Amino acid sequence: MARHTRLEVLNAMVKTGLVPVFHHGDLATARSIVDALSGGGAHVIEFTNRDDHAFEVFSELEHLCAAEYPHVILGAGTVVDEATAATYLNLGASFIVGPSIDEGVARVCNRRKVAYVPGTATPTEIARAHELGSEIVKVFPGGQVGGPGYIKAVLGPIPWASLMPTGGVDTSEESLSAWFDAGVTCVGIGSKLVSKDLVAQRNWEVLRQRTADAVATIARIR
């Protein structure tokens, strides 16, 4: 069962404006990443389903968060089918993210009142996500589908959409300003935040500071 309600999750996404996205197969490393991200002020974190044993790491990480980081809202990403969504929900995921829209995933999440953030690339897909009950809709890959200019254009005819671009967003003020000026609700950032070099060097303090800087930048430019 999710530790956080759908409303809590959505409000936290809106409040911080940042959803870090990462995957690591080693629990100790994943824990250090969560510690650094949350220490920097990012409390909504997406752990992606990127290998056959990702759910095992997620399960242990959720137990750790419940015990040691209760303020952290942990969700599962790269979820593309109903069975995978159900597995992560049973392991305590507080939200589900996908690279695409899946009606079965939406149904499972809605039955459990868990936020579902599906991936979209067109206005038609955004409208479909709304029909399935998604409050915040992922735009993926954000940079390749048109970047901030695309977001601004889409929000012209559908200004009620709450969009979260992922892919093509980095932590610089220039990048974040462009996306938020275009009207995004929040942004998902993966390797531009949790970069391979920092993880390889186990440089958690730099990751914490990079996260804090991004959170502060978003708060300032809004």
pLDDT in tens, 146-183: 999 999 999 999 999 999 999 999 999 999 999 999 99
Q: Under DSSP, is residue 115 helix (H, G, I), strand (E, B) or coil?
A: strand
Distances in whole angstroms, Cα of residue 201 to Cα of each of 45, 50, 56, 97, 116 = 21, 22, 24, 28, 34
Cα 194 from Cα 210, distance rounded (Å): 9
Whether 118 is in a domain gets the answer yes
SS3 percent helix, strand, coil of the chain, rounded to 5, is 50, 15, 35
Residue 195 pLDDT: 98
Q: What is the CATH number of the domain that holds 101?
A: 3.20.20.70
pTM score: 0.97
Residue 24 pLDDT: 97
Residue 38 pLDDT: 97
Whether 186 is in a domain gets the answer yes
Residue 33 pLDDT: 98
Regions in the chain scoring below 50 on pLDDT: none
Number of domains in the chain: 1
Which structure tokens are listed for 97? 């993210």
Distances in whole angstroms, Cα of residue 49 to Cα of each of 18, 64, 175, 180, 197 = 19, 18, 27, 27, 21
Rounded to 10°, the helix 54-68/27-39 angle is 50
Are the CB atoms for 111 and 85 separated by under 8 Å? no
Residue 117 pLDDT: 98
Whether 1 is in a domain gets the answer no
Residue 76 pLDDT: 98
Question: What residues form DSSP beta bridges with 115?
Answer: 95
Comparing CA positions, the residue from 142, 133, 134 lying closest to residue 166 is 142
Residue 122 pLDDT: 97
Instruction: Identify the H or E element spanning 65.
Output: helix 54-68
What's the domain range around 59?
A: 6-221
Whether 99 is in a domain gets the answer yes
Residue 210 pLDDT: 98
Whether 73 is in a domain gets the answer yes
